Amino acid sequence: LFKHSLLSGIDLQCYENNHSHRTEEMDMVRLLVRRGQPFSVVLQCTDHIPRLPDHQLNLILHLGKNNEVVLKVSDSQQDHGKWWFSQCNAQGEVMLTLHSPADAPVGLYSMTVVLLSADGQILEQTKSQTFYLLFNPWCKDDSVYLPSEELLQEYILNENGILYQGSWDDITTVPWNFGQFEKDVVDICFEVLDNSPAALKNSEMDIANRGSPVYVSRTITAMVNANDDRGVVSGRWDGEYSDGVAPTRWTGSVPILRRWSEGGGQKVRYGQCWVFTGVACTVLRCLGIPTRCITNYSSAHDTDANISVDYYFNDQLESVSEGRKDSIWNYHCWVESWMKRDDLPEGYDGWQVLDPTPQERSDGVFCCGPCPVNAVKEGEVGLKYDTPFVFSEVNADLVVWIVHPDGERIQVSQNSKVIGRNISTKSVYGDFTEDITANYKYPEGSMKEREVYKKAGRQVGQKNEGPGQLELFIKHAPAIHGTDFDVIIEVYNAGREDTDAQLIVTSNAITYNSIHRGECQRKTTSLTVPAHKAHKEVLRLQYDHYGACVSEHHMIRVTALLQPTDQDNIILQEINIPLKMPALHIKIIEKAIVSRKLTAHISFTNPLPVSLQGGVFTVEGAGLTEAKEIKTHGKIEPGQAVTVKFSFKPTRAGLRKLLVDFDSDILRDVKGEATVIVRTKMQNRNAVTEI
């Protein structure tokens, strides 16, 4: 029919398509497009294709690792909700514009153009070409559609973020490099999906479900932790990290994802909640699902799902909570992703909680979510997924019990105000917090809050606040790691009569999730508090006491228990004190230009009264450099300053952040960051000259 082949190849027009689909940061030499938005490729021909009724072009798409799913692309728009294409003939070329449905499965597609004869015989076909299809939050028919450019700039396109730690009344920040557009990250994200148990068991069914952000996001929360499957990060909280990387050392997701992929799906050791959260946020943003990182302060870990956290003490007011005890984590991190919930009744679209930290099993697997934030607020604990668990994390009551020698338990106090405080995320307007507690719950003590409690099946406890009530407060002086500081415990008598009581104060080195690493001090005092007066006790916390047992989260918990002599009630107050850490200082003197060498000077001063050994700096930054380590040699004496130099070549223009961590044998988790504006060589040439 034809003496020579007509079709010589396909130009995917990666530059133009990636730019209009907002994926140019990911790659310029591969095609990455978003669903529900057309893209054009150019079919190159050696000659004009004869416009005969007996020839037609067909497009065939394959999806899946082994091309399991085959899609024939229609050349008419009639088939609503299916792939279709239009064509425009030019000089020796044909422009093909492909239209994908807004609910198409995301993934790696391969595309072949076929020339057919009138009777459907294949005359010739092009070599297959691949492209990635992602979710499209810019498309109003996509179930992840988010109608705000400002929010999309943050929740899809920002590669840098802040994770919040510390305690509810002393919030600390950790910069995090999401790096969702760094080289090969998109491939690793789909590799994570391909390694899920569902994909390995039945890949065709898994591919069909990949059009749903509910399915994809739930799969990611299970796969980010390595508890049940070929997941990415292994969690560990006991302080023993010598066979891996201490969770506090990571400054971003990219080294973790690369290590997992290069190791053939071997779990990466070790992570804790903010690490799981950072990695999940990277993967979800990369796939095109708007996502943000959340920190819930005083987060309940309710192991027996009774929507209360139970603390048990004996007659001597020593803790006797056995086994899997309920606890209040100083903070707990998860992510929220934005999506429609067509699988639920109306009213539950929008932000969904996804918690990738392995805490409890859901449908037999360690994953949590997506759970609508609105369902948590309204107490609709029957709505999927895992709403009772999330409801409890932000709403549980703290109940204190005394266990007598014969085993009898007596409830001595109940407090509904201490759990779920200052729920925080990074603002879209800059590097500061946005408090979103009101998204999760009605104001404490309001009528509406009580209604929600009842709806969630909660017993609303009556507080036993009678006259002669003693009140307990804990305050502290600035707590700088390596120094001694005072904690002041104040007992105030609001009653009309003098009251006798016993006060026990302990200070413990704890991890952020309430694991005790050692008692620093304990002080027991019998006291008489005059009516309408206050009694003050001072506990001096000395580095000699806390330095030996402080955890890598450098956190001290002071617990005060007050028992009036003639009453069977106990007043409990706890305060978590994050010890202030030194900052790393980073100086970059030259102008930052793509592909031109740049040097950072990083300096650190040892704030502790003891020497440090095994010092190592870790440096990384999206668009600047992949993760690199710089070791220091010998000891760093108390008060000694150390400076290291680090050279790198920026790879991408724009506002970039260089993140640095310092780690040693005794002092860990020291962070620093520098913001750099990187220009292209062309931009630099056109720099504004001052007159």
Give the DSSP letter of residue 600. E
C-alpha to C-alpha distance for 270 and 256, rounded to whole angstroms: 10
Q: Which residues pair with 437 in a beta bridge?
A: none
Q: Is 616:632 a contact under the CB 8 Å cutoff?
A: yes
Please confirm, yes or no, whether 326 is among the known catalytic residues. Answer: no
Tell me the angle at which helices 273-287 and 254-262 cross, rounded to the nearest 10 degrees.
Answer: 80
Handedness of CA 134, 135, 140, 143 (dihedral sign): positive
Chain Cα centroid distance, residue 521: 35
Instruction: Give every CB contact of residue 546 below 8 A, 6+ residues apart in sequence.
Output: 507, 509, 520, 556
Give the DSSP letter of residue 265. S
Q: Which residues pair with 337 in a beta bridge?
A: 291, 352
Encoded tokens for 396: 């549980």
Q: How many CB atoms lie within 10 A of CB 300?
A: 26
Encoded tokens for 404: 């007598």
User: Of 14, 45, 189, 273, which is the active-site residue?
Assistant: 273
C-alpha to C-alpha distance for 497 and 469, rounded to whole angstroms: 10
444 is in an annotated binding site: yes
User: Of 21, 99, 301, 332, which is the active-site residue?
Assistant: 332
Give the DSSP letter of residue 587. E
159 is in an annotated binding site: no
Nearest-CA neighbor of 551 among 636, 398, 669? 669
Please confirm, yes or no, whether 355 is among the known catalytic residues. Answer: yes
Burial bucket for residue 255 (CB in 10 Å: 0-12, 13-18, 19+) = buried
449 is in an annotated binding site: yes
User: Of 229, 326, 355, 661, which is the active-site residue?
Assistant: 355
Encoded tokens for 418: 């201490």
395 is in an annotated binding site: yes
Q: Give the Å distances, CA to CA, from 618 to 297, 351, 645.
A: 28, 34, 12
Please confirm, yes or no, whether 273 is among the known catalytic residues. Answer: yes
Handedness of CA 451, 452, 457, 460 (dihedral sign): negative
C-alpha to C-alpha distance for 516 and 615, rounded to whole angstroms: 26
Residues carrying an active site annotation:
273, 332, 355
Mark the binding-site residues for Ca(2+), compressed into ranges. Answer: 395, 397, 444, 449
